[in-house]
Amino acid sequence: MPAGPLTSVGIGDDAAVVGAPSGSVVAAVDMLIEGRHFLRDWSSAYDVGVKAAARSLADIAAMGAVPTALLVAFAAPGTLSARWPADLADGLAYEAARAGAGVVGGDTARADSVVLSVTALGDLVGRSPVLRSGARPGDVVAVAGPLGHSAAGLALLSAGVGDRGTAPSGPLPAAPAAAQGAPATLVAAHLRPSPPYDAGPEAALLGATAMIDVSDGLVADLGHVAAASGVRLEIDSAALVTGGPLREAAAVLSELTPSGGTDRGDSPPALALSWVLTGGEDHSLVATFPASAVLPPRWRVIGEVRTGSGVTVDGEPHAGAGGWQHFR
Amino acid sequence: MPAGPLTSVGIGDDAAVVGAPSGSVVAAVDMLIEGRHFLRDWSSAYDVGVKAAARSLADIAAMGAVPTALLVAFAAPGTLSARWPADLADGLAYEAARAGAGVVGGDTARADSVVLSVTALGDLVGRSPVLRSGARPGDVVAVAGPLGHSAAGLALLSAGVGDRGTAPSGPLPAAPAAAQGAPATLVAAHLRPSPPYDAGPEAALLGATAMIDVSDGLVADLGHVAAASGVRLEIDSAALVTGGPLREAAAVLSELTPSGGTDRGDSPPALALSWVLTGGEDHSLVATFPASAVLPPRWRVIGEVRTGSGVTVDGEPHAGAGGWQHFR
């Protein structure tokens, strides 16, 4: 596996040695468990590798740090094909390389189902970490990367739209065979999230006061920032992107089932908005910046920081703060 | 949880930030899986925490590095008592503190059985890492810490000697209630390994040319050093400590069963020697040093490095190189 530019000792000794030029290391661990975070019927091994790497690497970017390395613990049943771990490793290495990191260590074991634990390391490049606790009234709230795409992709898969059939693998993400257009894009976003890693250090350079990656849903994750910072975060729903592929997918689902693919009977626009506000696993980055910050176009302003507590959408507290539940 | 002296951001944000004064970080990950690496009937949650931490921290010490931090991923069934994860966390924190490290990050999930993945980080204090590949003919082989104690403890538990009854927990390792003397010591060594972490950086200072921790068994782990270094490692069985508690435990087992608690019909001295040569999970440190090195008493010379390949005991290749199999 490619070990990354900062790796001096990779896989094969008791431990890896990875450069930490800033004199400190940023580290995060995330688990991915079969049946809870992914289904082998829907996700190829390569997909699972990409998703597992993305979850941990996005945590590093959300501190404003540059990812440097992954360590992977992997347990699986003995009945798994030999190809599965090899494809998984390819997916992990692909996503690590996309973030500029290498896979430097690992451990394997037997278990009744597939369990992955991925630890990501990163470097702050001499800057202070961007914590959840620095948002101040008057700051703006901005997001880099898509929102709701993974949730829409999961809804499509659950409704049988975009069933990928034979799971593809290989070095490049490919659209599922059975899906076309917007559904294909969204299913791919669910199976292989693509966080904008370099937006994390960029946000730190731009003076971000707080940052988090959207793993549990926009409202839920902004709730963590609001609580840590002691502020209220107000979201302007008109600033959220709910058209395009999301609206198209919501329309497809509403044609399939009277309830729009959900139990809530949402109209397509309401369904698209609910994906954006509560959908998890896009691992886009949401940050707060001083109002004076000049943000590049990929940072879309979606709200502002006010005094108070919690998260409000168009001035009303939002009920979706419970967070993303993966599969039921 | 105590976060350790080098931790600037601990649990609660997207990632932890830990000092890496040397400008690089040493990192290793290990999994601990219920039914394979431990049984909840035998190990308390506190024991499991100690063992999981020790496995990963010993890998850091085996590089000659000083442990700084642990990140813990933990999955468990919903039926587990609330007390179990709390006791586990106490065990992890106890062993981390013993190594000078803090628990800085974590993730939790649901799974059908208990699965732990522990990532340990460390700092080289400005020195080069001690790899497996540096052993040279003429070097001596020396070990710090006990060998075979964990294996003997497992044999005793398997034979019903030293069944700990109600599993104790709490801040200090306690001997199992039902065992006394040597059996109690050995059962405790199995349940709560106690690697000599500071012997790792000490070995680096003393000029160690190669090092590994004994997780799979002495012969098996020295086999990794021999292969990586392109040398033969010759062990002098007379230099190994097979008396004391090991001989006592072997005698207890031979009284219980004609076969000495094994299928091999070993005599007590042969059983004690087999624990020392092939028993895993003591996480003692074994290293090679130039013959001119002046070693402190806790580094016991047990052999020497010669030209050739593999591991020999008293000049003969040893069959126990397959390694430690945990439970069957």
Distance from CA of B22 to the nearest CA of A (A): 7
Average of per-residue pLDDT values in chain A: 90
Domains in chain A (CATH in brackets) are: 7-123 (3.30.1330.10), 140-322 (3.90.650.10)
Number of other CB atoms surrounding residue B170 within 10 Å: 12
Place of tokens 């394997």: A108
pLDDT at A252 over 50: yes
pLDDT at A135 over 60: yes
B257: buried, middle or exposed (CB in 10 Å: 19+, 13-18, 0-12)?
exposed
- Helical H runs in chain B? 45-61, 83-98, 149-158, 181-191, 199-205, 218-229, 245-256, 268-278
Chain pair A-B, CB pairs under 8 angstroms:
198
Distance from CA of A138 to the nearest CA of B (A): 22
Least confident of A154-168, A270-284, B284-298: A154-168
Mean pLDDT over A115-119 rounds to 97
Question: Beta strand pairing status for A66-76 and A102-110?
Answer: parallel
Among residues B257, B208, B163, the alpha carbon closest in space to that of B65 is found at: B208
Contacts of A16 in chain B (CB under 8 A): 26-28
Maximum Cα–Cα distance for chain B, whole Å?
58
Place of tokens 């076969």: B259
- Is A116 in contact with A48 (CB distance < 8 Å)? yes
Task: Check residue B125 and give its pLDDT.
Answer: 94
Residue type, A300: R
Do the chains contact at B72 and A29, CB–CB below 8 Å? yes
Distance from CA of B209 to the nearest CA of A (A): 14
How far apart CA B172 and CA B114 sit, in angstroms, is 23
How far apart CA A272 and CA A108 sit, in angstroms, is 40
- β-bridge partners, B75: B109, B115
Residue among A13, A24, A36 minimizing CB distance to B20? A24
Task: Check residue A55 and give its pLDDT.
Answer: 97
How far apart CA A55 and CA A72 sit, in angstroms, is 12
Residue type, B104: V
Residue type, B2: P
List the single residue in B with minimal CA-CA distance to A109: B31
Q: Which residue has the higher pLDDT, A261 or A63?
A: A63
How many residues appear in chain A? 328
**Regions of chain B where pLDDT drops below 50:** 165-178, 260-261, 328
- Render the burial of A261-297: b for 16+ CB within 10 Å, e for the rest: bbeeebebeebbbbbbbbbbbbbbbbbbbeeebebee
- What pLDDT digit, counting tens, does each position of A176-234 carry? 444 568 889 999 999 999 999 999 999 999 999 999 999 999 999 999 999 999 999 99
Contacts of B29 in chain A (CB under 8 A): 71-73, 105-107, 117, 119
How far apart CA A5 and CA A27 sit, in angstroms, is 18
Which of B11, B13, B37, B72 should one mutate to test binding to chain A, selecting the residue with the greatest count of A CBs within 10 A?
A: B13
Residue among B111, B121, B133 minimizing CB distance to A25? B121
Q: Is the dihedral of CA B9, B10, B13, B18 positive or negative?
A: positive
Residue among B16, B26, B110 minimizing CB distance to A15? B26
Distance from CA of A122 to the nearest CA of B (A): 9
Among residues B126, B91, B119, the alpha carbon closest in space to that of B18 is found at: B119
Give the per-residue SS3 of chain B: CCCCCCEEECECECCEEEECCCCEEEEEEEEEEECCCECCCCCCHHHHHHHHHHHHHHHHHCCCCEEEEEEEEEEECCCCCCHHHHHHHHHHHHHHHHCCCEEEEEEEEECCCCEEEEEEEEECCCCCCCCCCCCCCCCEEEEECCCCHHHHHHHHHHCCCCCCCCCCCCCCCCCCCCCCHHHHHHHHHHHCCCCCCCHHHHHHHCCCCEEEECCCCHHHHHHHHHHHHCCEEEECHHHCCCCCHHHHHHHHHHHHCCCCCCCCCCCHHHHHHHHHHHCCCCCCEEEEECCCCCCCCCCEEEEEEECCCEEEECCEECHHHHCCCCCC
Distance from CA of A103 to the nearest CA of B (A): 12
Which of A13, A116, A132 should one mutate to test binding to chain B, selecting the residue with the greatest count of B CBs within 10 A?
A: A13
Place of tokens 């990192």: B27
Contacts of A36 in chain B (CB under 8 A): 109-111
How far apart CA B119 and CA B129 sit, in angstroms, is 18
Q: Any residues with CB less than 8 A from the CB of A218 and at least 6 apart, and which?
A: A143, A147, A235, A276, A277, A278, A279, A286
DSSP assignment, residue B210?
A: E
Number of other CB atoms surrounding residue A21 within 10 Å: 15
Task: Check residue B256 and give its pLDDT.
Answer: 83
- What pLDDT digit, counting tens, does each position of A15-49 carry? 999 999 999 999 999 999 999 999 999 999 999 99
The tokens for B201 are: 């950086």
pLDDT at A260 over 80: no
The rounded Cα A274 to chain-centroid distance in angstroms is: 17
How far apart CA B308 and CA B204 sit, in angstroms, is 25
Do the chains contact at B75 and A14, CB–CB below 8 Å? no
- What pLDDT digit, counting tens, does each position of A74-97 carry? 999 999 999 999 999 999 999 999
Task: Check residue A266 and give its pLDDT.
Answer: 75
Place of tokens 């689902």: A253
Task: Check residue B273 and give its pLDDT.
Answer: 96
Distance from CA of A294 to the nearest CA of B (A): 25
Do the chains contact at B117 and A31, CB–CB below 8 Å? yes
The tokens for B204 are: 């680096």
Question: Beta strand pairing status for B102-110 and B66-76?
Answer: parallel
Do the chains contact at A119 and B69, CB–CB below 8 Å? no
Task: Check residue B5 and give its pLDDT.
Answer: 78
- Is A293 in contact with A303 (CB distance < 8 Å)? no
Do the chains contact at B30 and A108, CB–CB below 8 Å? no
Place of tokens 């592929």: A245
How far apart CA A46 and CA B273 sit, in angstroms, is 46
- Compute CA distances A325 → A48, A92, B68, whole Å: 18, 24, 34
Residue among A15, A27, A129 minimizing CB distance to B71? A27
How far apart CA B17 and CA A169 sit, in angstroms, is 35
